[in-house]
Structure 1
């Protein structure tokens, strides 16, 4: 198969319990426990009804303005998948709209992350299928290719590989290598417990804020 029109095998199967280990953890907390080095880019924002997204990445690389391989990815995706599309960040043509949204939902796809443009916002805004994109354009796509499926991609500066676990909420979207997910989930849940304790201490007035002045004094600030 020629370069530019390749469809590779899916990433390794991800056990359901590994996916569920990240369920209910905010992207911000997961990001904190990935060294704050990985992010989907502030430019990729949610456009759907706010439903939290979690699933397994099927990646697509396509030329700007063309969605042929996104259509093919929809046709071969499995329930629980998230399509992650590297469209080069171009906003000239929309690559996803209501018809593709309907097809994706019928296939059991749970989300789409596209470093490019979408359209038909009323339909997308009313849908629970997660849709994260760089922007919007009413101008439609071409369907000629080239494009590739299940290859390493970059969306908003974040590397994503086939089989990564992709999570998304109101703060944005994040991809986690499945092999690292159990450790990251454990650390993230510990952080959630610490933050719950902080919030409780704020509520009851027992919070200790002495660390702020101690940090400033250590930096030479006269207080």
Structure 2
């Protein structure tokens, strides 16, 4: 039987990412991690959780309904819809179901609808597009399997972080290392900002970089 709550280890690992911006995380993953075509459809509420992956046929959400029967509190429904924007895969009804079960948000490589409801609820939802046209419910599809979101491979259980800049996915086996590196980068950037404010920002690196180029 699937666990219905997070383990202490799961909770501690997510806590390591609290407050980290997607930009710092992405920079610490060779600047290759995460999406660039998906936009927040809910406002500014940040998102943090573990990927509950779903693969669906373009324009069909049967397996999203199925996955929501097994979602854990703190999970993010990460849906590979093949990038199809012709039909919305989730809307207010599935948002309400996800909220009632403690899910942390949606990442949809496809379209959504009822964006006013997502904004009103401040429930994290990142999607490639928006359309009023509804989905089919025939399948095929599956869940808890490897998917590709906006060209990025995502495994079930990866850490998912979202903010106003977008979404990044961190493989579970690298998560602790990436979180520590991102915190160090954030501290270094804070020092640079302080130098700019103080008028002591060192720009000598620019000339050296130009010479290398």
Q: Which residue of 2 aligns with 1:32?
A: 27
Mean CA deviation greater in 44-53 or 206-215: 206-215
Cα distance, 1:215–1:83 mapped onto 2, change above 3 Å: same
Q: 1:115 aligns with which of 109, 112, 124?
A: 109
Offset at residue 128 of structure 1 (A): 2.3
Show CA shifts across 1:50-95 (max 9, x none): 1110001110000001000101111210110000000100011111
Q: Which residue of 2 aligns with 1:82?
A: 76
SS at match of 1:141: coil
Show CA shifts across 1:12-70 (max 9, x none): 96621111111111011001111112222x21110112111000111000000100010
- Correspondence 1:149 to 2:143: yes
Aligned partners of 1:178 and 1:153: how far apart in 2?
A: 15
Q: Which residue of 2 aligns with 1:192?
A: 186
Matches within 5 A, 1:1-223: 15-40=10-35, 42-219=36-213
The unaligned stretches of length 5 or more in structure 2 are none
Aligned partners of 2:58 and 2:24: how far apart in 1?
A: 33
Aligned partners of 2:212 and 2:154: how far apart in 1?
A: 40
Aligned partners of 2:24 and 2:212: how far apart in 1?
A: 28
Show CA shifts across 1:124-144 (max 9, x none): 122222100000111111111
Between Structure 1 and Structure 2, whose CA radius of gyration is higher? 1
Offset at residue 218 of structure 1 (A): 3.6
Aligned partners of 1:194 and 1:178: how far apart in 2?
A: 25
SS at match of 1:200: helix
SS at match of 1:24: coil
Aligned partners of 1:212 and 1:142: how far apart in 2?
A: 54
Aligned length: 209
- The CA RMSD over aligned residues, in Å, is 1.5
SS at match of 1:126: helix
Aligned partners of 2:192 and 2:89: how far apart in 1?
A: 44
